[in-house]
Every structure is written in structure tokens, then in C-alpha cells.
Structure 1
Amino acid sequence: MDDSVVVSPDWLASRLDDPQVRVVDVRDAWEFDGIGHLPGAVNIPFDSYRDESDVDRGTLPGAEAFAALLGDAGISPEDTIVAYDDTHGVFAARFVLTALEYGHDDVRLLDGDYSAWNQSHETTSETPEIEPVEYEADPRSPEESPLVGYDAVADALERDAVFVDTREQEEFEEARLPGAVLFDWREVVNDETRRLKPEAELEALLADHGITPDREIVLYCNTARRISHTYVVLRALGYENVHFYEGSLTEWLANDGEVESGPVASE
């Protein structure tokens, strides 16, 4: 997957001296400063690119606000961005999704997280010097974007789409979209290495849940954080027909959408 949206620690380590490869740490500032970070990384905390008030675009921060974040971090539109966190990549994946939505062509997710990197590569507490730049976002058109809203999701329920619920089993049994399959986003992560499982294993795991490249796939969770990780993984595996329900179950329930509850009988 090193040539795709997901890159390995070794891939990144060999490119840290490239001025156009920019590393983004999305942890809280106290973690970035107090625990340490990857060499040359800039800190753009998760809360800074998530805005609960953006009712039209879910929790995306808005194109101008995101462009300001990147510009203040010294990142240009032509740079390659590699994002990471210390939570198996779930917060960093949200950054990747956001950057893609606002037109950044080359943005990657570090396979693993800070702890995975720290097992075999150096970290630092030095804060890099940042020279701010002007960054202009180029948001995707609705036709280009994987993001879908309530009406599109309701329409997809009438088709043979696979609705993938990336939450935990307890949440799934409390309420879920009709016919959804449970696929906890953490199933793709190896707990020991903190990195993604091998590609063949991922494909078999997804297929066991009926999540295959030939199907139309709709991802949702509660507030579109966890599906960001699953979306990036599917993209890395070459899945193309993947829809990202930004409003997720929060919006679905607010619109009195139909739900199911209770355990699913095993076949």
C-alpha cells in the first residue's frame, strides 16, 4: 500500500528530508510538545479541523478555515502530507478525508501511529520553524465527493447497497440503519504492531462481512470520525464505489430515519 493513500513508517522515514513531504501530527498540543513527535512534524490538533456548527457539511471546518490551518502550518497545495495520531490512525484519517474534500491532491495516512513509529524510528521534542504560506483550497464538487447526505442514503436503502456500521457492537445493537452490517473499524488493526493487517487478510476480513469491491458501499458511524479510517483503508485497497455518510446516525435519527435494534442472528 506504500504507493497509495496509506504509507509505511519506512516509506516516510526515507523521505523526511524532502521539503515537499510535510508531516502533520493531529494529537493535542500537550502530547505533541510533552511526549514528542515525528521529526519535522507540525501540530494541527483534531479539534481545529472539526466544526460542529457547519450544519451543511457535517463537521467539516469549511474550506477557508481549513486553508488557513494549512497555510499557518507552512503547507502548500503541492506538498505531500502524511498525517498521524496515536490512536491507530482514526483521527489522522479524518484529517486525510478533510484534506481530500478540500482539494489537496497528495495526502496520506501513516500506517500505524506515533507508538508504532516509536518502535523503530526516532522522535523529537524540537518544534520546527514554520514559515506561513498562502493556501487556497479547491473543494471537490458534489459529483466528485464521496460524501452523501440523508436523501442519498435513503435512496441507497432501496438499492442493493451494503451499509457498513463501523461502531462497536453495543452501539450497533442499540440502533442501526436497516440491514446494516457491523464492521468495527478497529478490526483492520493489528493490536501488537498497531499497524494495518496484511492486505490479503484485510480483503478476506472485509469479504467475510460482504464488503467487496463490486458492491456499492455506504459507511456510517455516529459523527463520521470512525468511518474516516475505514474509508481510507478501503481507498487504499482499491475500492471505488464507496459513499461516506457525513451526517451518520446522528443526522439519520434527527430526521426520524428508520432504524433497527437488537442483536443480529448468526447464520
Structure 2
Amino acid sequence: MDESVVVSPNWLASRLEESTVRPIDVRDPWEYDGIGHVPGAVNVPFDSYRDESNVDRGTLPGAEAFADLLSEAGIEPTDTIVAYDDTHGVFAARFVLTALEYGHDDVRLLDGDYSAWNREHETTTDEPEIEPTSYETDPLTREKSPLVDLEAVEAALERGALFLDTREQSEFEEARLPGAVRFDWREVVDDETRRLKPEGELEALLADYGITREREIVLYCNTARRISHTYVVLCGLGYEDVAFYEGSLTEWLANDGEVATGPATSADHRSR
């Protein structure tokens, strides 16, 4: 796994004394304060980096709002951010995607979560002293951004791109994009270690679903949270042609997009 994308608990533990390595805990404040956190971690709750005007859609908060958030957290554009949660990394991965989209060059996901960290490494309830900064975002251009809109999704469907639906089976059967393959984002996680499965297992798992490096891949769910984790994992494995449908099924349905329903057929399953 590419360490510029995903880092191990040992990697983070060996660098906690470095002033430019900044752990960010995206759990709720009561978890951060009451249960404990990685030493030096700053709390940036998940709800704070979603669009406040419509949190149900889960869309990006906007460049200015995100700049204010990182300024309050004492983050500089040159810092190495390592995000984590206690839900196998799915909320933290959303932070990673958000920071990348707004131009932060070095943001990584902690492999595992707080529970995985807590098994072998020190935790604390002490809050670090925060010196606010004047953080400025530098959003990616459309050409460089992995985010795609409704029009681009329609074009990708015409091209026969591989659409991955990372939601629950019941959600998938209720409505999905035509031809989509269901890939539960949690399949890449080892339930016992709470960390990602070994790379060999991940590659075999992905291949079993027809997910290969030569395919054009488009990810979607309902509100673009669960696909964040799959996106980060694929990037960590070196996949390059991966698009992120920010509007996801919420936007697709709102625009009367065509859907398939019911159990997946053989054409929708792993043979794609």
C-alpha cells in the first residue's frame, strides 16, 4: 500500500514528535474527549466538513468553509495530515478526499481506526494546544479532480465504465445505476485486526469483482461517504482511472436517472 496514501499505526507512532505530522480525529467530540485519542490529534468532527446547507446529501463543505475549519485546527498547507476515526476509516477517508479536493498535497488515511491504534499504541485525553493559522485552499481544477458530475456519469455509462455501488444489499436492490456491480466497502477490511487486508488478498478480491487497473471505474453510493473509503484504497493500490460521483444516487434519482432494481443478474455481478 502506497504510504503517501495510507499509513500504518507504526508509521504514525514513529512520527508523532514531528511538528508537521498532524493526526486528525474525525469522531464526535464526546468520543475524542471521553474515550481518548491519538496523542497530539486535533478533533475535526465528520459533520463539520459537510455542506451545512444540506447535510443529508453529504456534499463537500466549500473551499472557504474548509479553509476556516483547517485554520481553526491549526493546520498549515505543508503539514502531513493523517486522518482516522473508529469506523474502519470510512469517515476519515471522506476527510482525505475533501482535503485532496481542496488542494492539500499531503493527506493520508490511518490504516485501521482508533480501536486498531489503541491495541498497540498510547492514547490520551489531553487536548493539544492549537495555534490558529490562516489556511488557504487551492481547489483542484476539473481536469485534475476525481469528482464527476451527472453529465460525466451519463457519458461513462455510454462508454461501458465499471460502476461500483458500495452500499448495502437492500439499498442496491431498491435502486442502482444500470449495470452497476455491488462492492461492499467493508470487504477490504479484516474484522479481526480492524485494518486493511494484505495487498495480495485485496488484489485477488478486486479481481474477483472485475475491478482491474485497465478498467474505467466510477464509484457511487448515496451521499458519497462510503465510496470515499473505496476510493482511498484503490488509490493506495495504484489504481489511476477512478472517478468519484459526488452526487451519487441521491442526485441521480433527483434527476430521474434510469435505475435497475431487484437482485443482481449475472451481468451485474462479478463477471463484469
TM-score, normalized by the shorter chain, greater than 0.5: yes
CA distance in 1 between partners of 2:13 and 2:58 (Å): 34
Q: Secondary structure at the match of 1:158?
A: helix
The reply to whether residue 103 of structure 1 matches residue 103 of structure 2 is: yes
Write the distance in 2 (CA, Å) between the matches of 1:181 and 1:265: 10
* Aligned-pair CA distance for 1:264: 1.6
1:145-224 map, 5 Å = 145-224=145-224
Give the letter for the 2:178 counterpart. Answer: P
Report SS of the residue matched to 2:164.
Answer: strand
Deviations 1:68-97 (A, max 9, x none): 111111110000000000000000000000
Partner Cα distance (2:259, 2:43) in 1: 39
Alignment of 1:29-68 (within 5 A): 29-51=29-51, 53=53, 59-68=59-68
Tell me if the contact between 1:54 and 1:61 (Cα under 8 Å) persists in the aligned partners.
Answer: no
- Which residue identity is paired with 1:216? E
Separation in 2 of the partners of 1:245 and 1:205? Answer: 22
Give the stretch that moved more between structures: 1-10 or 99-108. 1-10
Cα distance, 1:2 vs. partner?
5.3
CA offset digits 1:91-116 (Å, max 9, x no partner): 00000000000000000000000000
Which residue number corresponds to residue 117 of structure 2?
Answer: 117
Aligned residue for 1:70, secondary structure, equals helix
Distance 1:52 1:187 in 2: 31
1:53 and 1:59 in contact (8 A); partners too: no
Mapped contact 2:2–2:236 kept (Cα < 8 A):
no
The answer to whether the aligner puts 1:236 opposite 2:251 as a matched pair is no
* Structure 1 runs of 4+ with >6 Å offset: none
Partner SS for 1:122: coil
Give the percent of matched residue pairs that are identical in Structure 1 and Structure 2: 80
* Residue in structure 2 matched with residue 75 of structure 1 by the alignment: 75
Count of paired positions: 266
- Separation of aligned partners in 2, 1:89 and 1:188: 11
Q: Is the 8 A contact 2:77 2:104 kept in 1?
A: yes
Which residue matches 1:86? 86
Residue in 2 that maps onto 1:133: 133
After superposition, the CA RMSD in angstroms is 1.4
How has the CA–CA distance of structure 1 residues 249 and 138 changed in structure 2, closer, same or farther, with 3 Å as cutoff? same
Structure-1-length-normalised TM-score: 0.97
Q: Distance in 1 between matches of 2:141 and 2:126?
A: 39
State the AA in 2 paired with 1:50: R
- Is the contact between residue 25 and residue 45 of structure 2 (CA under 8 Å) also seen in structure 1? yes
Pairing 1:227–2:227 present: yes
Q: Is the 8 A contact 2:37 2:125 kept in 1?
A: yes
